Amino acid sequence: MPVIKPFTRYVFDILTEAGWPDLVHDEPHCKLTCPLGNIVQKRGGEYILKFVYYSQEKEEYGDVVKYGELFYPKDFDIRQYLYFRKTGNYSISLAKIFKNIVNPLGRTVEKIKISSKSNNIRFLGKSLIIPQDTFLASMADAKRASIIADSYKNSTETYLANQYSRNYSSRVRKRTTYLDKGEFKFLVDRFYLKTKKNKKDYLSYLNSDDISSIEELMVQLLRDEVLSPDFIRFLDDYFIKEKLKEIISIGRQILELKTEKTNTIAAQKVVSLFNTGTISQFEGIWQKYFENYLLYLIFTYKKIFPKVELENIKGEKKYPDFIGVNHYNGLDVIEIKTHLKNILVWDRSHKNFYFSPEMSKAIVQTSNYMDAIIQRRFQSTEDERKITNFVEEENLYHPRGIIIISCTDKITTQTGKADELKRDLTKLRNSLQNITILTFDEILGIADEYIKNIAPDTVSS
């Protein structure tokens, strides 16, 4: 078996080989000194290792102040936990990682004492007292952290090199996954800090490419059924119960507005919920509401396009409020009015209801939009391209119109005609070809029923 050098001899040989001058090795007394004083000494049942450095350029010694002394039991072999550079300057192995593990708050430490008697890490003035078993465990963790960090560095360099190679050649490596199991958690933990309180905090670290990548990953994980059933239930609970209830609540707040003025306190309160600027026209409040939430409220759409301008449309407004693409790749033209508009007017002479001027205008307007789409009269070729990418060719020639207008107590101003109102509203709705009329409270009612029927287990009674 090889003879193990005494620790003082071990350190003396390394520093002498590195060119440190004026070292004195007193082996019988287990002491190693330099012009600044003791480097290693034995005192009672422990050794004391002082961290000093030597500058070859200045030819002088200097003291290390932070973590400058290490106390350890005499029967503890410290050498495998020390790191010596070629210059002879030395420190605890993986010192930066080790310090972050045992002293995460960065308290001032000048001495480390490895104790065989203490049970917990504690601070005594500027001394850190650490149990021997804890020291060994923390050094093992530091080693693991170093290995993983090197792995991240190598995989990151490989990934970036392959990405940049695309700038210079069409022949590139096949894209592969450069992550090992557990590495993704590292990325998520670094990003997900409790200091983030709102959307703005997250957007300080995410650009549009980051967000698109996260969205694509989430969709693929859902499709491939990778995510846990508990997490899927949480998503159901959030999007169906919490999110949709919040959306319905905002819609009902708009329904409570009794005037088209947008400068009232009640209107301004609603507008503030959209995190947008001022809205000058009352109809714009509902348009912003549906721009944000239409995909949640009418559950057959996979894509919504707002304000796609069309050619040769009579009147000032050249675009429908929304064009929706449903899951069957059909196309809907969606026109938004307000809940304060009437749908029907009472005809005293004929004893029946007919469409109000506002409703008639909306029907004609929607029909014109549908005709323009059938004839592909898109003002922008880019708009036409992005819509036709989602819509099958034959469906482009059969659009459907949806007009959202009025609410239950505003369908007409006529009172005392409940039976006639129900009869004529149904008749007039059914008389329209490819156009559906919905009231705002009907839309919110559909969402309410969706919560009750689709996710009964996630909704509290």
Residue 285 near residue 262 (C-beta atoms within 8 A):
yes
Residue 92 near residue 50 (C-beta atoms within 8 A):
no
How far is Cα 335 from Cα 405, in angstroms, rounded to an integer?
A: 9
How far is Cα 56 from Cα 221, in angstroms, rounded to an integer?
A: 57
Residue 113 near residue 127 (C-beta atoms within 8 A):
yes
Q: Return the axis-axis angle of helices 183-191 and 132-165, rounded to nearest 10°.
A: 90
Q: Is the pTM of this model over 0.85?
A: no
Q: Tell me the pLDDT tens digit for each residue of 303-343.
A: 899 999 999 998 889 999 999 998 888 899 999 999 999 99
Q: Tell me the pLDDT tens digit for each residue of 1-29.
A: 556 789 999 999 999 999 999 999 999 99
Q: Tell me the pLDDT tens digit for each residue of 95-114.
A: 999 999 999 999 999 999 99
Percent of the chain beyond pLDDT 70? 95
How far is Cα 110 from Cα 51, in angstroms, rounded to an integer?
A: 10
- Residues in CB range of 409: below 8 A, 6 or more apart: none
Sole residue written with tokens 């009472």: 346
- Residues in CB range of 168: below 8 A, 6 or more apart: none
The DSSP H or E segment spanning 334 is strand 331-336
The three-class DSSP label of residue 63 is strand
Task: Please tell me the predicted confidence (pLDDT) of residue 256.
Answer: 96
Q: Tell how many helices (H) and how many strands (E) occur in the chain.
A: 15, 19
4-18, 76-90, 223-237: which range is least confident on average? 223-237
Cα 346-351-352 angle, rounded to 5 deg: 55
Cα 141-99-62 angle, rounded to 5 deg: 135
Compare 146 and 191 and report the one with higher pLDDT.
146
